A and B are shown apart, each in its own frame.
Chain A
């Protein structure tokens, strides 16, 4: 059995293991998503994150060790964000015609996300640094982390809250928008991108290119809005 232990020691020191585990966990999440008939309630990111956390806890692996391997996947978030410019170009005339509703929806959704999150957390007795960490959670990860740091939150907690928000948005948008009878793909995409950044945008692209494009723009604009609005909203009394 010492052979297996040796292999484990070798593998845990290379990025290969956790990079592979991340891809495998996500593939399994996607397979379950498909098996559930594409239901948004079985979210591939949620499945993959839960599986990987269980594996890390079971093997006593630190997040740092895991991230040394998984950082190659994480890195691609940058170029993927830049890549949103392409569907934006393809749908530009449609976006420009909807500039006014898009801007209004974005501002309203952004302020609602911040106030509802901090208000609910405060009512439920969360601590000061937790409240500061949750305030920017609808923005995309790097913006949210920078904002949290500025207002006294914990950037690493914010990063995790951002991901959970994205998963919740992808799961709940269908039922919420369905109940409100909102079928316009532009409105659906804008809501997904504003409330649930990149994971909401990924879900919106599943609904179609128009919804995905509006989600991508809403995500980028909500990043800007969050960076500007959260420090102001958090300095208000009460």
Chain B
């Protein structure tokens, strides 16, 4: 389990270093994911310990966003003034983005002759 944790942190660190050295606009963890995915692609499947540790982290993924969300508390005055505009903009754009992405996915999947798996 320690080795699996070190693998995740090591990939993140390598990603951070790459992002800084190459001045990429992508955060270290995202590059770290690409690095780990490339390394795993060379193996028939991910090692058992890594699957367990990753599964544990991903099962609690939403929890990890709580501290950043509480940051809303710093923006009281702005939210009082522009909160409605921002809230409406978030709802409209989130619904539109979900709908457009899903419809385009289905349309292109049908065009390329790839039927829905589940329906």
A residues with a Cβ closer than 8 A to B are: 22-23, 25-26, 43-45, 48-49, 52-53, 56-57, 63, 66-67, 70-71, 73-74, 76-90, 92, 97-98, 100-102, 104-106, 108-110, 112-118, 120-121, 124-127, 130, 134, 137-138, 140-143, 146-147, 156-157, 159-170, 172-173, 176-177, 180-188, 190-192, 194-196, 198-199, 201-203, 205, 210, 212, 218, 220, 223-224, 227-228
Contact = CB atoms under 8 A, between A and B. Distances in A.
Interface string B50-71: 1101110111011111111111
B97 A116 contact: yes
A163 B68 contact: yes
B64 A89 contact: no
Contacts of B57: 76, 79-80, 83
Contacts of B74: 63, 156, 160
Given A105-B101, A195-B94, A160 B71 contact: yes
A49 B5 contact: no
20 contacts: A23-B63, A48-B63, A73-B66, A81-B12, A83-B53, A84-B33, A85-B36, A85-B40, A86-B51, A88-B33, A134-B86, A137-B93, A160-B68, A160-B69, A169-B98, A183-B118, A190-B101, A194-B97, A195-B101, A202-B58
Interface of B: 5, 8-9, 11-12, 15, 25-30, 32-37, 40-41, 43, 45-46, 50-51, 53-55, 57-59, 61-75, 78, 82, 84-109, 112, 114, 116-119
Contact of A172 (B36, B55, B95): B95
The A interface, classified by DSSP as helix, strand, loop or mixed, is helix
Given A53-B72, A163-B72, A191-B98, A126 B89 contact: yes
Contact of A227 (B26, B53, B117, B119): B26
B27 A223 contact: yes
Nearest to A219: B30
B15 A82 contact: yes
A113 B93 contact: yes
A85 B27 contact: no
A220 B28 contact: no
A116 B96 contact: yes
B66 A138 contact: no
A37 to B, nearest CB: 18
Of the candidates B46, B82, B89, the one having the most CB atoms from chain A within 10 angstroms of its own CB is B89
B64 A77 contact: yes
